[in-house]
Structure 1
Amino acid sequence: MTSYTDKGPKPKYGKFIAFDHLTFYVGNAKQAASYYVTRLGFEPLCYKGLETGSRKFAYHAVKQNKIVFVFVSAYEPNEKEHGMHLMKHGDGVKDVAFAVEDLDNIVIRAKQKGAIIIKDIWEESDFNGSVRFATIQTYGDTTHTLIDRSLYRGSFLPGFVNLPKDELGHKLPGIKLDFIDHVVGNQPDLEMESTAKWYETVLQFHRFWSVDDSQIHTEYSALRSIVMSNYEETVKMPINEPANGKKKSQIQEYVDYYGGAGVQHIALNTQDIITAVRNLKARGTEFLQVPDTYYDLIRKQLKNSKVKVAEAIDILQELKILIDYDDNGYLLQIFTKNMQDRPTLFLEVIQRRNHNGFGAGNFKSLFEAIELEQEKRGNL
């Protein structure tokens, strides 16, 4: 496991502030949004569709604190781009949007470095002000939209109308997820390095952390991962690829079912993972299970560690929350089962206590839990 201390020179122009929102292409945006509202504690945010003058697509945006997901479906039977994407990949993340400063210079640099510009800088306005955008291609069919909303004071973006509160959602226990911690992209074998290089060259991101297959493996499968980050380290994009093992790794299973590179999971940060997971379970969210032997081992290891975990291990065990730590701090994390029928996208809930890693100590336990699910699907 490698943590990188050299961030390289601070970019002279352009700044990535944070994840702005994620856009999902789905078959039925209205129902997908409803699922995230009822099961995951999001609130309806706003809508764009036929009634607002959007003739080709329906957009349903949901929000939880700083996390915004937008679900998009097409109206017309012959809408090619969305339809082909859906047929190939199934429901999944199409676009990872970043809030930026100095959009013009970020785009100029991206062009100079050979980025594929899907849509050059454009502007949208309504009575709440104006927003500037540009969209560039990243791995697979995934895109990044760069957003400058410094002159906008609306609740989301121009053209959207606000939605009323969801009556059912408010009767269910609150979840307290705060912001997007990281977004993980899976690559086909031997494409991780070139993808990481793209983030370095085009977006001026740096390598933040990495592991290889000698560190992350089970009896059956393995992975390699490089985490890319912006200079301020507010945006983290782990890039994974499968490594050869006795059987098919979950990364390869993802690539097979998604039809190439794409977003594998979204990590959502919370200050109170115990409440979040209890209440997500009460709403019917399903999580991967790890065996109780994992906690027997953790109890032994923590006896010899400087780190004191504030949460009761018994409760973490009951909820099947994983623990990873070093001498400075620890993190707690748990992973949902897949969010759709295809074994592709899932979510992570993460709580950090002075620990900036990605749960490398848990990868083996997590992989074994995923392999149990893979075996049920006949894909191991």
Structure 2
Amino acid sequence: MPPLLNRICHIGFHVAEGQQLASNLMHQFGFELFATRMAGWSRQLAFRRGNAVFLVNERLKPGGREVSPVSSSGFCKNKGILYDVDLQPSVGTASNICFEAEDVPGISQSLEERGCQILITPTAVGDESGYVTYSVVGSIVGNVSHTLLDRSQYCGPFLPGFHVVEGASKKFQAGGQITHFDHITYACPQGSSQAVLDWYKNCLGFQRFLIHQQDDVADGYTIQGSGVGLRLTAMRYSGSGLTLLDQDCKIVLAESLSEQKNNQVDTFLEQHGGSGIQHVALYTTDIIGTAAAMAKSGAIFFKPPLAYYSEKSKEQEIRRVGQDLQLLKDHGILLDAEAGGNSGPGLHGKQYLMQIFTKPLFTEETFFLELIERCGGTGFGEGNIRALWQSVQNYMDQHA
């Protein structure tokens, strides 16, 4: 299958007015608010750090003033256009992954012929900076949709109707650089991963890849025992317009195999109202500096059990790759020197990754962010899953 998509343009949220997501992205996580727009009953706020762009759709309360942004003759009027579907969710959700593409009408027709649900047919929208063409296709994962967007005829800062915001978040001390989205993780019901993999392969051209030497093509990578039951499978897409900062698009599927009451995957499914985007990983060139700056600004991270750092094997693993054990412990950063099956030779080659996870960004135990720095490690921190699982479980038990 020839490449259909180029690169991720942005990831979209839907939240109710009054939630703190937009403020927290800017003040706690150092994202720059660079463009805004009013669309019908929604306020759209675009944030960025490096090539990682979040688009927050805030649903305004009834009784507010509906505002129609700029429109251009000959194109669909911008009034009410979200470049997405209007979910009006009861809980905050990350639900849209927007891909840049070159032939939106052709791709949309091909997807429709394959039985995909086209939620918004190809539509042209413009302003004084040109025009874009987009469509929206529904996936088979809960409320997740994909906007297909052609910006080749547009020279504005983001999308038609958006207005530039100058110097909105200069007070944040950025710390390490965030360059792009590293991966996106879906929380899925038991037994659904293969259907999701098949849909993304047949419809969008994603390819399955193994994340660990114990990863099985049919069953994925399973972790069971000591209160943990989890299956991970992964897929990636390498588009034609990728740069070194974009990398490829990687999606990880997580499904619970645990009978433990209130485990985090099943809790997500219950509180979110079905499967969806559980977390987004942001790639940073300096995880210690980035995490420290975010924590200083009020971001709250999960910290692994103290026993994580006192285990002899983990202590040796950290020291062998040249990292400071106490520094990682102070910030709660996890290190996996066996990432992507690089055990043995990988340790001598210092191939590893470091990661840390925020607490949920919404009232519900659903969406969170991950920071990840790769030093040759290609996996997703499989060696840290038990520690992460336990830290999240401790948090959930305390808030039960």
TM-score range normalised by the length of the shorter chain: 0.7 to 0.9
Deviation of 1:197 (Å):
1.1
Can you list the C-alpha shifts for 1:293-334, whole angstroms capped at 9, x where unaligned?
Answer: 21233x6357479x9524322211111111112244111000
Q: How big is the shift at 1:171?
A: 2.7
2:232 to 222, 225, 232: 225
1:6: which partner in 2? none
- Shift in CA distance, 29/246, structure 1 to aligned 2, threshold 3 Å: closer
- The reply on whether 1:134 has 2:135 as its aligned counterpart is yes
Distance 2:294 2:398 in 1: 24
SS at match of 1:357: coil
Deviates more, 1:120-129 or 1:270-279: 120-129
Alignment partner of 1:67 is 2:74: no
1:29-44 alignment runs, 5 A limit: 31-44=20-33
- Tell me which of 249, 254, 269 is aligned to 1:240: 254
1:214 CA drift (Å): 7.3
* Letter of the 1:217 counterpart: Q
313-322 or 269-278: which moved more? 313-322
Which residue number in structure 1 is paired with residue 41 of structure 2? 56
Q: Find the residue that maps to 2:143 and give its secondary structure.
A: coil
What TM-score, normalized to structure 2?
0.82
Larger CA deviation: 322-331 vs 105-114: 105-114
Cross-structure match for 1:150 = 152
The answer as to whether partners of 1:106 and 1:203 remain within 8 angstroms in 2 is: no
Q: Any conservation in 2 of the 1:221–1:248 contact (CA below 8 Å)?
A: no
Closer, same or farther: CA 34–108 of 1 in aligned 2, 3 Å: same
Asked if 1:16 corresponds to 2:2, the answer is no
Q: How far apart are the structure 2 equivalents of 1:295 and 1:148?
A: 48
CA gap 1:304/1:311 in 2 versus in 1, 3 angstroms: closer
Any idea what SS the aligned residue of 1:132 has? strand
CA offsets 1:104-136 (integer angstroms, 9 cap, x no match)? 443233222211111121122222222221111
Question: Per-residue deviation at 1:283?
Answer: 0.5
Q: 1:114 to 1:195 in 2, by over 3 A?
A: same
Write the letter of the residue equivalent to 2:369.
L
Amino acid at match of 2:333: I
Q: Name the SS of the counterpart of 1:40 in structure 2.
A: coil
Distance 1:64 1:129, change over 3 A: same
- Determine the C-alpha separation between the residues in 2 that align with 1:94 and 1:48: 19
SS in structure 2 at match of 1:47: strand
TM-score, normalised with respect to structure 1? 0.86
2:172 maps to 172
1:162 paired with 2:164, answer: yes
- Residue number among 380, 385, 393 corresponding to 1:358 in the alignment: 380
Structure 2 match to 1:256? 270
CA RMSD across the alignment? 2.5
Find the counterpart in structure 1 of residue 328 from structure 2. Answer: 316
Q: Is the alpha carbon distance of 1:146 and 1:213 closer, same or farther for their aligned partners in structure 2, counting shifts above 3 Å?
A: closer
Q: Indicate conservation of the 8 Å contact 2:187/2:254, yes or no.
A: yes
Partner of 1:285: 299
* Equivalent residues, number: 356
Deviation at 1:223?
A: 1.5
Matches of 1:32 and 1:316 in 2, distance apart? Answer: 27
Q: Structure 2 CA distance, aligned partners of 1:103 and 1:82?
A: 17
Secondary structure of 1:150's aligned partner: coil
With over 3 angstroms needed to count, the CA separation of the structure-2 counterparts of 1:69 and 1:127, relative to structure 1, is same
1:26 aligns to what SS in structure 2? strand
Give the drift of 1:73: 2.2
Letter of the 2:235 partner, please give it. M
Report the CA distance between 1:335 and its aligned residue. 0.3
Alignment of 1:107-126 (within 5 A): 107-126=108-127
Contact 1:220 1:248 in 2 (8 A): no
How many percent identity over aligned positions?
A: 27
- Work out whether residues 221 and 233 of structure 2, in 8 Å CA contact, stay in contact via their aligned partners in 1: no
- Say if 1:46 and 1:62, in contact at 8 Å, map to a contact too: yes
Contact 1:213/1:222 (8 A) holds in 2: no
